[in-house]
Every structure is written in C-alpha cells, then in structure tokens.
Structure 1
Amino acid sequence: MEITITTPGLLFPAISLLLLAYTNRFVVLTNVIRQLSGKEDAKTQAIIRRQIASLRSRLQIIRAMQLFGVSSFFCCVVATLALFLSYIIAGKVLFGVSLVLLSISLAFSVYEIQISTNAITIEIERLDS
C-alpha cells in the first residue's frame, strides 16, 4: 500500500473536530454538576445521587475519549514527520496506531452516549415525580 505525507494529514481535521466535541461534552457535564450541587430538595435527593454517579462515570469516560483522541492526534503528527523524513515503515506503523487509538476513542464515545441516554431517563423520572 502506498502512503504519502498527506495520508495522515487527512485525519487532522477529523480528530480536531472530535476533540472539540469531546471538550464541549465535558463543559456541559461540569455545568450540570454545578447546577445539581445547588439543589437541596429532599424529595429529589435520591435522583440527584443517581445522576451524580452517572456524571462521575461519564466524566471518566470523556477523559478516556480525550486521552485516546489526543494520543491519536500525536501519533498522526509523528507519522507525518516520519513520512516527511522518509521513514516509510515507521510512518505506516504510526499511522496505523493512530487509527487504532482513534477507534478506541470513538468506542468510548459510543459508550458515553449510552450512559448519557440513561442519565436523561433519570431526569425524566424526576420530572414525573
């Protein structure tokens, strides 16, 4: 398979947009946590505890998403550098590692979306009560 210096460069915009989306999810979660910390209603304490457990889990998953996304970006940059310096095999390997890391990041993202859906269900329960 032929690989050129532009091949890893194709991932730069995609990874950058993913990292931006991950950061936005993180910011939204921190705002939700701040809002929940202000609620002292005894009636909703059990639901708030469930939400906090979900939020804690989601924050850890988002951290993993970001870690693997940034690692993928770093490997992509190093792959580009290796190809620029004519280290073709190293460039191919690093680009492959970058793709694997990006796939792991995306898998964590899917998992976080599932947990997010469960968190919305908890919020609906609160509204029903």
Structure 2
Amino acid sequence: MELTLTTPGLLFPTVSLLLLAYTNRFLAIAALIRNMYAQYKASPDPLLLPQIENLKIRVRLIRDMQVLGVTSLFLCVVCMLLLFAGLSRPAEYVFGGSLLLMLGSLALSIWEIQISIRALQIQLGDLEHKK
C-alpha cells in the first residue's frame, strides 16, 4: 500500500463531522442533567437519581469519544508531516494508529447509543405499566 498526503487528509471532514455530532450530544445531555438536577432540588424524586447517573455515564463516554477522535485527527496531521518529510514507514504506523483510535471512538459511540436506548426502554416500560 502506498500512503500519500491525501490519504490521511480524507479523514479530516469525517472526523470534523463526528466531533460536531459528539459535541451536540454532549450539550444535549449536559442540559438534561442540569434540568433534572434542578428538578430534583425543587422536589426530590428518587427516580431521577438513576436517570442522572445514567446521563453522567453517557457524558463520560462522549468525553472519551471526543478524546479518541481528536487524537485520531492529531495523528493524521503527524502522519502528513511524516509523509512530507519523506518518512513513509513511520507515517504508515502513525496512520494505522489514527485509524485504530477512530475505531475506538466509533465503538464508544455505539456503546453510548445502546445505553441511551436502554434508558428510553426503561422509561417507556414504566409508561406501559401505568396502562
């Protein structure tokens, strides 16, 4: 495989869009946590605590997704610098590392989505029990 400067450059738009999506998810969850916390302070409801705990886990996962995504992008830039310097073998390893970090970020994203779905199913299940 021949690695050129354009190969790691292909990840730039992808990583940028992913980071934007991760940030939007983070902001939405942070707003939910703030609202639930204010709601709990106003009238303590023991059902809110597990939901807030679930959201805290999701915020940590999103933080880790962002760290892996940014580090992946950083390694893409390092890879391009290595290619520019004519060091193709080290550039290949760095690019491989970048791809692995991106895979890790995407895997955490899937995990966070599954947690989100489980939380919704629990909440909807509570609604069905009331029927």
Over aligned residues, Cα RMSD in angstroms? 1.5
The residue that corresponds to 1:55 in the other structure is 55
Q: Tell me what 2:28 maps to.
A: 28
Name the SS of the counterpart of 1:38 in structure 2: helix
Within 2, Cα distance between the matches of 1:35 and 1:65?
Answer: 24
TM-score, length-scaled by structure 2:
0.90
1:7-46 map, 5 Å: 7-39=7-39, 40-42=42-44, 45-46=45-46
> Which aligned segments of 4 or more residues in structure 1 are displaced greater than 3 angstroms?
125-129
1:10-60 alpha-carbon deviations (Å, 9 max, x no partner): 001001100110000100001101111222445xx2321110110111011
* TM-score, structure 1 normalization: 0.91
The answer to whether structure 1 residue 4 and structure 2 residue 20 are counterparts is no
Distance 1:37 1:72 in 2: 34
TM-aligned CA deviation for residue 84 of structure 1: 1.1
Closer/same/farther in 2, CA of residues 46 and 127 from structure 1, 3 Å limit? farther
Long gaps (5+) in structure 2: none
Which structure is higher in RCO with an 8 Å CA cutoff and minimum separation 6?
1
Aligned residues: 127
How far 1:121 moved relative to its partner?
A: 2.5
